[in-house]
Structure 1
Amino acid sequence: MKRLGIILIVALFLFSNIFAQTGEGTVSGVEGIYFGKVIEPDKYVLGVGDIVRIYIILETGDPISFNVTVSPTGSINLPMVRAIKVSGLTLTEATREISKQLLKLYPRSVISTDLVYTRKFKIYVLGEVQNAGTHLVSAISTLDDVIKLAGLKSSASLRNI
Structure 2
Amino acid sequence: MKKIALPLILLSILSGCSVTGSHLETSNKTVIENKENNNKSKYNLFPLTPQNVNTFNSDSLVNPTASQTLLTQLANYEYKIGVGDILNVTVYDHPELTTPAGSYRSASDSGNWVHSDGTIFYPYIGKVHVAGKAVSEVRADIAQRLAQYIEKPQVDVNVASFRSQKVYVTGEIKNPNYLAITNVPLTVLDAVNKTGGLNDDADWRNVTLTRDGKETHVSLYALMQKGDLTQNHLLKDHDIIHVPRDDAQKVFVMGEVLKPDVVKIDRAGLSLTEALSSVGGINELSASSTGIFVIRKSTEENVVADIYQLDLSDASSFVLGTEFELKPYDTVYVTDAPITRWNRLIKQLLPTVSGFNELSEGILRVRNW
The residue identity in structure 2 corresponding to 1:127 is G
- Alignment partner of 1:137 out of 165, 179, 193: 179
Q: Is the contact between residue 41 and residue 91 of structure 1 (CA under 8 Å) also seen in structure 2? A: no
- TM-score, with normalisation over the residues of structure 1? 0.60
Give the distance between the partners of 2:153 and 2:166, measured in 1 at CA. Answer: 40
Q: Hey, what does 1:26 align to over in structure 2?
A: none
Give the distance between the partners of 2:141 and 2:126, measured in 1 at CA. Answer: 12
Please state which structure has a larger fraction of its residues in helix: 2
The residue identity in structure 2 corresponding to 1:99 is A
Pair 103,115 (structure 1): closer, same or farther in 2 beyond 3 Å: same
Q: Hey, what does 2:198 align to over in structure 1?
A: 152
Q: Is the contact between residue 42 and residue 91 of structure 1 (CA under 8 Å) also seen in structure 2? A: no
Pair 48,142 (structure 1): closer, same or farther in 2 beyond 3 Å: farther
Give the distance between the partners of 1:85 and 1:139, measured in 2 at CA. Answer: 20
3-state SS of 1:112 partner: strand
Pair 68,153 (structure 1): closer, same or farther in 2 beyond 3 Å: same
Q: Hey, what does 1:75 align to over in structure 2?
A: 119
Q: Hey, what does 1:97 align to over in structure 2?
A: 141
Give the distance between the partners of 2:130 and 2:156, measured in 1 at CA. Answer: 15
Q: Hey, what does 1:21 align to over in structure 2?
A: none
Give the distance between the partners of 1:43 and 1:129, measured in 2 at CA. Answer: 28
Deviations 1:109-137 (A, max 9, x none): 322212222225565543222334xx342
Q: Is the contact between residue 120 and residue 136 of structure 1 (CA under 8 Å) also seen in structure 2? A: no
Q: Hey, what does 2:158 align to over in structure 1?
A: 114
Unaligned 5+ runs, structure 2: 1-74, 100-110, 208-369
Give the distance between the partners of 2:77 and 2:155, measured in 1 at CA. Answer: 17
Shift of 1:156: 1.4
Larger Rg: 2
3-state SS of 1:159 partner: coil
Give the distance between the partners of 1:99 and 1:80, measured in 2 at CA. Answer: 12
Deviations 1:68-95 (A, max 9, x none): 1211111111123221111111111111
* Identity fraction in percent: 26
3-state SS of 1:77 partner: strand
Q: Hey, what does 1:65 align to over in structure 2?
A: 98
Pair 103,41 (structure 1): closer, same or farther in 2 beyond 3 Å: farther
List, as ranges, runs of 4+ consecutive aligned residues in structure 1 with deviation greater than 3 Å: 120-126
The residue identity in structure 2 corresponding to 1:146 is A
Unaligned 5+ runs, structure 1: 1-39
RMSD: 2.7
Q: Is the contact between residue 167 and residue 181 of structure 2 (CA under 8 Å) also seen in structure 1? A: no
Q: Hey, what does 2:84 align to over in structure 1?
A: 49
- TM-score, with normalisation over the residues of structure 2? 0.28
Shift of 1:57: 2.0
Moved more, 97-106 or 41-50: 41-50
Deviations 1:28-67 (A, max 9, x none): xxxxxxxxxxxx9971211112222111124xxx434112
Q: How many residues align?
A: 117
Please state which structure has a larger fraction of its residues in strand: 1
Q: Is the contact between residue 56 and residue 111 of structure 1 (CA under 8 Å) also seen in structure 2? A: yes
Q: Which has the higher contact order (CA 8 A, sep 6+)?
A: 1
